[in-house]
Chains A and B, each alone.
Chain A
Amino acid sequence: QVQLQESGPGLVKPSETLSLTCTISGGSINSYYWSWVRQSPGKGLEWIGYIYYSGSTNCNPSLKSRVTMSVDTSKKQFSLKLTSVTAADTAVYYCAAGMVRGVLIGRYFFDYWGQGALVTVSS
């Protein structure tokens, strides 16, 4: 059983960088795609991207130019940075985990979710 917990500022100013960290409990860090998904009233659920324990990543092309993800295997944490935020980035940000199954890289559904962190972009 994997448990995930998001942490980070709940308020970010426009044009600044949103930073979130997800702490992992349980599970094997090399068995999952560690992911970020956000949910806003206007756009519903949106996959942001994933990072594997090796550091390889894949991001949604719509956000790729602004997203950086990293993983710290010793701390069992992974992180998201989203630069140049605007009000449109206001959302509940979830960290989530999808088990690595089969041979197709990056084809996964979400087995586990964090509780979500509301991030508001406002001055």
Chain B
Amino acid sequence: EIVLTQSPGTLSLSPGERATLSCRASQTVSSNYLAWYQQKPGQAPRLLIYGASSRATGIPDRFSGSGSGTDFTLTINRLEPEDFAVYYCQQYGSSPQTFGQGTKVEIK
């Protein structure tokens, strides 16, 4: 199965700053089938990005995804207070689909 490694584990930033989150796959992600989710305490994950770079419905344009092959990035421009959360990547190009271990974006 494909192992996804997210870095850093924790990102300490201030509102208004840019967050850059990395997701590296142990093998090529087929068709760049890579998604990003946001999870807040006590809530289910929420879809942000699919297909490596397509924003899900209703997701603000300060969230963007990029990358291909084995290296993917989620960028959050101008962090808003509601953006402080844990972010997960997921590959769905190969079965079993797998998730990264998460990156926590916390307020500095």
Q: Which residues of B contact A45 (CB under 8 A)?
A: 45, 88, 90, 99, 102
- Size category of the B interface is 20 to 34
Cβ of B4 to closest chain A Cβ, rounded Å: 10
A110 touches B37 (CB 8 A): yes
Q: How far is the CA of A114 from the CA of B43 in the complex (A)?
A: 9
Q: Contact flags (1/0) for B60-94 with A, using CB distance below 8 Å?
A: 00000000000000000000000000001010110
- Closest residue to A58 on the B side, CB-wise? B95
Interface residues of A in 28-84 (CB under 8 A from B): 44-47, 58, 60-62
Q: Which of B30, B45, B95, B96 has the most CB of A within 10 A?
A: B96
B99 touches A60 (CB 8 A): no
Q: Which residues of A contact B98 (CB under 8 A)?
A: 47
B92 touches A108 (CB 8 A): yes
Cβ of A113 to closest chain B Cβ, rounded Å: 4
Cβ of A56 to closest chain B Cβ, rounded Å: 13
Q: Out of B37, B43, B93, B96, name the residue touching A47 (CB < 8 Å).
A: B96
Q: Which residues of B contact A111 (CB under 8 A)?
A: 47, 56
Does B27 touch A at the CB level, under 8 Å?
A: no
Binding site for B on A (CB under 8 A): 44-47, 58, 60-62, 94, 96, 98, 104, 106-111, 113-116
Mostly, the A contact residues are loop
B96 touches A60 (CB 8 A): yes
Given contacts A114-B44, A115-B44, contact A107 B33 (CB under 8 A): yes
- Closest residue to A61 on the B side, CB-wise? B96
Q: Out of A47, A106, A107, name the residue touching B99 (CB < 8 Å).
A: A47
- Closest residue to A49 on the B side, CB-wise? B96
Known: A45-B102, A47-B97, A107-B30. 4 other contacts (CB 8 A): A45-B90, A61-B96, A94-B45, A107-B93
Interface residues of B in 26-62 (CB under 8 A from A): 30-31, 33, 35, 37, 43-47, 50, 56
**12 A-B contact pairs sorted by A residue (CB < 8 Å):** A45-B88, A45-B99, A60-B96, A94-B45, A96-B44, A107-B31, A107-B93, A108-B92, A109-B92, A110-B45, A114-B44, A116-B44
